Structure 1
Amino acid sequence: MSTHALIRFFSPDPRHDGVRPVQLWGLRLFYLLMLVFVTPTAWQALLTHAGAWDPLRAVTIAVWATYPALAFFGLFRPLRWLPLMFFTIGYKAVWLAFIAWPLWQAGTLWDTPTGEVAASFLAVPALAAVVPWGYAWRTYFGWSRGSAGAGVVAAP
């Protein structure tokens, strides 16, 4: 790869609203990892389950089957599917904070199934690193000065 191509790979791209190509490819990589690692486990659990479901476990498995299926679309439109990344970062961060952290502090996290899940969730900082936060803020969370009250319809 030439120096010029390398610089372009890490530079904001005006064709993608200033998002760096490295971030787009990083997002695609995480969407692909969701597909490869989560889909088989979740769908196997759904398709091979016998008997009555525990309602909370059923919701968990249904969510785990759905979000990587949606990640397929993120491979092609990584910026449009950023809310899926927000969901992924959010639920993993909440799980680490409220489930794994207390067990880790008590010295009972590792060498357990919960520890295995925690280890897989420790990639959250890498996931957060590929999210183009400036673009995300402009697109999903922020409003420009001229759009104060945007989306609010005045009463007739």
Structure 2
Amino acid sequence: MNEVSLFRLYVLRALYLFVVIGLGMLVVPQIFTHTKPWEFFHGVTTCMLVAFWLLCILGLRYPLQLLPILMWELIWKTVWLILIPLPLWLSGTLDDSLIPNVINVSCVVLVYIAMPWSYVYNHYVKNQSNPWRNVK
């Protein structure tokens, strides 16, 4: 009785691999090649992306156990798209300089496609939570 098909596990692994390769080419080299101190938010962003990259490496081996990291990615990107560029687009004031970020963040659609939603529902919504205290 496997809740998630082998095919879906491979889809998840492909998504983790996509992130590992993408961030491995774009972000990880920054760790080793920067020569000046980073501005605060650039440093925070880079370190968070490297942490996400490392967790996605683990996701290749443990795709279901690392679903919460994909859920975090899905949530923050969806919230950002709804709160930042959508109102600008609706008002006709979306700046062209923001378009590349919107395109990159819109890749979150891949997470929506890869996510085993019935597994997420059964394990994170329907399943009984851990106890808050010892019951005698």
TM-score strictly above 0.5:
yes
Q: What is the CA–CA distance in structure 1 between the aligned matches of 2:106 and 2:26, rounded to whole Å?
A: 19
1:47 aligns with 2:32: yes
Partner in structure 1 of residue 132 of structure 2? 152
Q: Which structure is larger by alpha-carbon Rg, 1 or 2? A: 1
- Answer with 129-138 or 26-35: which moved more: 129-138
Partner in structure 1 of residue 105 of structure 2? 121
Q: What is the CA–CA distance in structure 1 between the aligned matches of 2:54 and 2:93, rounded to whole Å?
A: 33
How far off is 1:133 after superposition?
1.7
> Which residue of the other structure, out of 59, 80, 97, is the alignment partner of 2:65?
80
TM-score, length-scaled by structure 2: 0.83
Partner in structure 2 of residue 23 of structure 1? 8
Report percent identity of matched pairs.
26
**Amino acid of the structure 1 residue aligned with 2:112:** A
Q: Deviations over 1:89-134 (max 9, x none)?
A: 112112212222233234454743x211211222323311221122
- After superposing on structure 2, the runs of 4+ consecutive aligned residues of structure 1 that deviate more than 6 Å are none
Q: Which has the bigger relative contact order, CA under 8 A and spacing at least 6?
A: 2
- Answer with 81-90 or 21-30: which moved more: 21-30
| CA root-mean-square deviation | 2.3
Contact 2:15 2:110 in 1 (8 A): no
Q: What is the CA–CA distance in structure 2 between the aligned matches of 1:125 and 1:75, rounded to whole Å?
A: 19
Structure 2 residues without counterparts, runs of 5 or longer: none
Paired residue total:
136
1:127-142 paired onto structure 2 within 5 Å: 127-142=111-126
Contact 1:39 1:69 in 2 (8 A): no
Q: Deviations over 1:8-44 (max 9, x none)?
A: xxxxxx23xx213332121111101101112221112
How far off is 1:86 after superposition?
0.4
Q: What is the CA–CA distance in structure 1 between the aligned matches of 2:95 and 2:70, rounded to whole Å?
A: 26
**Amino acid of the structure 1 residue aligned with 2:108:** V
**Amino acid of the structure 1 residue aligned with 2:99:** G
Q: Against the structure 1 CA distance between its residues 104 and 34, is the aligned structure 2 distance closer, same or farther, given a 3 Å change threshold?
A: same
Q: What is the CA–CA distance in structure 2 between the aligned matches of 1:153 and 1:143, rounded to whole Å?
A: 18
TM-score, length-scaled by structure 1: 0.74
Q: What is the CA–CA distance in structure 2 between the aligned matches of 1:108 and 1:98, rounded to whole Å?
A: 14
Partner in structure 2 of residue 65 of structure 1? 50
Q: Against the structure 1 CA distance between its residues 98 and 49, is the aligned structure 2 distance closer, same or farther, given a 3 Å change threshold?
A: farther
